[in-house]
Structure 1
Amino acid sequence: MLWIVLAALVFFALAFFLMPYLPGARAYRDRQTRIKTYLRQESAIKQWRAPALARQYVQKLWPNCQTPHLDMMENLLRQFFMCNLQAESATLAIPSFALQHFWQGVILCGKAYAEFTGQAEHIADYRPLDAREYDPQAMQQNLLLCWQMACLQEGLDWRQPARLPALFGLDQKLGISNGWRYVCSNGYLQVWRAEVREWHILLPDRPPRLRKKD
């Protein structure tokens, strides 16, 4: 009987030490690491709250923006961060002039912003556009991906949505001067922005690749 117990102990000891070298063990560990990273980032984004300075910054630009409007901007910036999290290895263009400035207001709170981006593991890093690196085609692709992600989050068909996703309708809803305007029609996303005048972006049939938490 004793030899059976000893054999079992040897077997389990060998299994314990050899487990990391078994086929698929590294893939399993990598998958668990990705899941934990995703959940940490998701939690940081959901718990994030905009500092008061960001709200004051926006109100100086658009004095008519009241608390409900600022609450909407905060929620939509959080949604934009979630779109970035869920997009697999991609860069998204922010689709709202007002939201871009709200984000810049958040950055003014340097310490709080650094803590948040650290917790979100740089999903919420601000990427200012360098005019020397401006690439209209890349910008359109990044904007298009944001359109797809926003539609998916709100349960809309990105090819023929019943309405604009909230991220894309914000400027028009708030009546933002120099705001960006969008219309989805006949398989194209039409974009009006002061610096580019007008774009017509063909909407793809292929869905975007999503980052999965599992």
Structure 2
Amino acid sequence: MPILMTIVVLLLSLSLLFVWMRWRRAAQADYIRSYMFPPGLLERLHKQRPDLSLKDQHLLARALRQFFLVYLKCGYKHIAMPSQVVDELWHEFILYTKNYEQFCKKAFGRYMHHTPAAVLGSNLRNNDGLRRTWWFACLEENINPRRATRLPLLFALDAKWNIADGFRYEPDCSALRANADGTVYCGGDFYGGGSDGPYDFGDTTNDGGSGSNADSGSSDSGNDSSGCSGGCSGGCSSGD
């Protein structure tokens, strides 16, 4: 009887822990989505990018929130920043030291570091950061990461605003190969499909997203050898 009681208590404890973790993750996601950036932040970026309207600035803030949601949903694994202009806003936010530290503590329970990112190269497993960003950013907008018919916001803004030093992406590889104007990267390359086989982050039950309602379209081919570069990557350290 004591053994049975111990098993029941253990199962109940595990169930409560699971429910608490799901609740905490949902609360953190809500905090990120509703977070109001410190006054003056968008104005500082506007000095660097005077062509961006007030509406554009708020869209930019939404894209940075999406990047932070990716970090939360992937379980604080390494992710890479795919947008130059969003990265600039991230830089400016970090300069608000106390605000940024408080945000990280409430959103992640730890500090999110800002580190250089590598380009998307031929070795698929060396590009986890950027691929992981693509995967969870797509799920955040109910886009099928394997057969995207549109880009998530985080991957679309540089081209939308024609950022001179930005990065341009296409969801369809056929459009990539037909485009000879500048460097454009293919969404299909983010999930694999090349000689190393498909790249899949597997279980997405923790991320709050679902592929069942995702966009679908013609299958992308990931055999193109071109890469995709990101501005910076994110990492964490519980010691900061």
2:83 — aligned with what? 96
Q: Would you say 1:206 and 2:200 are equivalent positions?
A: yes
Indicate the percent of aligned positions where both proteins have the same amino acid: 23
Corresponding position of 2:32:
45
Question: Is 1:60 matched up with 2:54?
Answer: no
Q: Is the 8 A contact 2:71 2:79 kept in 1?
A: yes
**Is residue 175 of structure 1 aligned with residue 162 of structure 2?**
yes
* Cα distance between partner residues in 2 of 1:127 and 1:139: 18
Task: Give secondary structure in 1 for the equivalent of 2:115.
Answer: coil
Is this contact kept in 2: 1:41–1:120, CA < 8 A?
Answer: yes
Bigger helix share: 1
- 1:120, distance to aligned residue in structure 2 (A): 1.0
**Correspondence 1:121 to 2:108:** yes
Give the alignment's TM-score, normalised by structure 1.
0.72
Structure 2 residue aligned with 1:26: 13
- Aligned pair in 2 of structure 1 residues 94, 118: CA closer, same or farther (>3 Å)? same
Mapped contact 1:84–1:123 kept (Cα < 8 A): no
Shift of 1:150: 1.6
Please list the CA deviations of residues 37-67 of structure 1 after superposition, one character each: whole Å capped at 9, or x if unmatched: 2133123212211223321232122111111
CA distance in 1, matches of 2:202, 2:136: 8
Distance in 2 between the 1:76 and 1:159 partners?
21
Question: Matched residue of 1:51: which SS?
Answer: coil
Q: How does 1:53-202 map to 2 (within 5 A)?
A: 53-88=40-75, 90-122=77-109, 125-129=112-116, 140-186=127-173, 201=190, 202=192
For the aligned residue pairs, the C-alpha RMSD in angstroms reads 3.4
Say which SS state the counterpart of residue 128 (structure 1) adopts. Answer: strand
**Distance (Å, rounded) in 2 between the aligned partners of 1:212 and 1:175:** 31
Q: CA deviation at 1:207?
A: 5.1
**Residue type matched to 2:203 in 1?**
R
CA contact (8 A) 1:84 1:90 kept: yes
Normalised to the residue count of structure 2, the TM-score between the two structures is: 0.65
Question: For 1:162, what is the secondary structure of its paired residue?
Answer: coil
Compared CA separation, residues 168 and 124, structure 1 to 2 (3 A): farther
Amino acid at match of 2:200: R
> Partner residue of 1:6?
none
The secondary structure found in structure 1 opposite 2:82 is coil
Instruction: Report the secondary structure of 2:169's partner residue.
Output: strand
Partners in 2 of 1:171 and 1:34 — Cα distance?
35
User: Structure 1 pair 75/128, CA: closer, same or farther in 2 (3 Å)?
Assistant: same
**Structure 1 position 100, deviation (Å):** 0.7
Question: Distance between the aligned counterparts of 2:88 and 2:13, measured in 1?
Answer: 43
Q: CA deviation at 1:112?
A: 1.4
Gaps of 5+ in 2: 178-182, 209-240
